[in-house]
Amino acid sequence: MLIGFTDTAFIARLGAIPLAAAAFTQGVFGVFYVVCVGLLAGPGVFASRDHGAGNEPGCASWLRHGRALAIVISLGAFGILALATTQFEHLGQPPEVMAIVRPFFLLVSASLVPALVFQVQRQFAESVGRAWGPMIIILLDVALNAFGNWVFVFGHLGCPALGLIGSGYSTLLARLFAVLTIAIWLRFSPNFARLRNAAWSGWERARFAALLKLGVPAGVMLLFETGAFGATALMMGWLGAVPLAAHQLALSCAALTFMVPLGLSLAVSLRISRAHGEGRTAAARAIFVGALLSGLLVMLSLAGVYTFAGELITTTLTSVREVSSLATQLLLVAALFQVFDGTQVICVGALRGLTDVRVPAALTFAAYWLLSLPLGYGLSFHTRLGPRGLWVGLAAGLATAAISLAWRFWHKTQEPRLI
């Protein structure tokens, strides 16, 4: 997410049109990326369970199967995104934006392959309690991307100023660096020596089936949520380049702070799965409540930042007055929906740790597609709220998802045998 935020910060200096092109790209790419991450939710959950049960060969096998699945899924997704570039003129977006977006879109889409393979390896490291290594690699990755943007976007160190396309090159190179670095770390770090030496029983169809059985509903659930955000970006484009650029600016800020509850969501998922493998199923509620209270404390604090420092944040990121003014108004709505967004993602992680993904998928569909999008469209195009109406619709959908998913988890953990 820091890579996307860094790209936005540099592209914002190029003007409203390149920023709107970045908004369109990140909106579409974000849907595919998050859905694919959902499809690949299984390796971490199953590896954590087997690690808790002391099954080292099984734990290591999930990494190998997860990598293979990530390569297949990411190549398929890139093919779909590349094909989609031939249909951009039918999406009703500003023509000046569509005129420059395709090369940047293809470069960012190509980075999906290393990004997803990295995610599987990161999940595996975290599932066995080694979370610091991936975090350090990601921070180096972000620094490399920022440096690449400085070099390629504006033209430094003898490189020509490539503008928007330069940011795409930087993103692709940074994600290639990350996936290669974490692969080398897993291969040579002594922390994984016992897992590397574990017996390898070859490729197993049952493991791929288990990964898809968990991953497909999880991916569908994330599709409903990120699809709603992607549809919101498309509707913002119907309102013009300035609303679309402001949407990207505000959403980049909200998405960056969303990483805190998302991290808690990943942690609670692995902790509950590991507790299940260790036979401590009764600990699920305590793990969930601890994560939820931590997330609420952080998100309420960040809501205060967006309420009182929103204008300072947006004017720092862009000098286009119309964009910064509208983005400030959107951050006021974000102050509210951040709390609900953080709650629902922690609930999703807790339910995934129980391998409960089908009913949550139905709940998220109702929250985002039956409530959020119709409400946002009505408020935006049939009231004076305009672009703010779309974000009010998102807030309503996130609140509904948070309440229903929390109820689902509490219901599932009433009896330990249900876990």
Question: What pLDDT score was predicted for residue 233?
Answer: 80
Residue 267 CB partners (closer than 8 Å, separation 6+): 126, 291, 349
Give, for 49, the enclosing helix (H) or strand (E): helix 42-52
The CA dihedral of 289, 291, 297, 298, to the nearest 10 degrees, is -170
Confidence band for 343, pLDDT divided at 50, 70 and 90: very high
Distance CA 354, CA 414 (A): 13
CA of 365: how far to CAs of 232, 345, 361, 396, in Å? 15, 14, 6, 13
Compute the average pLDDT of residues 131-148.
Answer: 90
Q: Could you report the per-residue pLDDT of 102-115, keeping only the tens digit for each? A: 888 999 899 999 99
Q: Which domain holds residue 407?
A: 2-418
Residue 410 CB partners (closer than 8 Å, separation 6+): 285
Question: What pLDDT score was predicted for residue 63?
Answer: 86
Average pLDDT, the chain: 85
Q: 3-state class of 70 per DSSP?
A: helix
Q: Could you report the per-residue pLDDT of 267-304, keeping only the tens digit for each? A: 898 888 878 777 777 788 889 999 999 999 999 998 88
Compute the average pLDDT of residues 381-403.
Answer: 91
Whether the pLDDT of residue 167 is over 80: the answer is yes
- The answer to pTM > 0.75 is no
Domains: count for the chain: 1
Question: What pLDDT score was predicted for residue 202?
Answer: 76
Distance CA 284, CA 214 (A): 19
Q: Could you report the per-residue pLDDT of 300-331, keeping only the tens digit for each? A: 998 888 889 888 888 887 777 888 889 898 99
Residue 140 CB partners (closer than 8 Å, separation 6+): 177, 178, 181
Question: What pLDDT score was predicted for residue 199?
Answer: 65
Whether the pLDDT of residue 416 is over 60: the answer is no
Q: Could you report the per-residue pLDDT of 184-227, keeping only the tens digit for each? A: 998 888 888 777 777 677 788 888 998 988 888 888 887 887 77
Which sign, positive or negative, has the C-alpha torsion 306, 311, 313, 317? positive
Confidence band for 149, pLDDT divided at 50, 70 and 90: confident
Question: What pLDDT score was predicted for residue 378?
Answer: 93
Whether the pLDDT of residue 415 is over 70: the answer is no
Confidence band for 14, pLDDT divided at 50, 70 and 90: confident
In order, the DSSP letters of 130-184 are --HHHHHHHHHHHHHHHHHHHHHHHT-TT----THHHHHHHHHHHHHHHHHHHHH
Compute the average pLDDT of residues 13-20.
Answer: 81
Compute the average pLDDT of residues 351-358.
Answer: 83
Question: What pLDDT score was predicted for residue 58?
Answer: 77
Long-range contacts of 370-379 (CB under 8 A, 24+ apart): 371/396, 371/397, 371/400, 372/228, 372/396, 372/397, 372/398, 372/400, 373/228, 373/231, 373/232, 373/397, 376/232, 376/235, 377/235
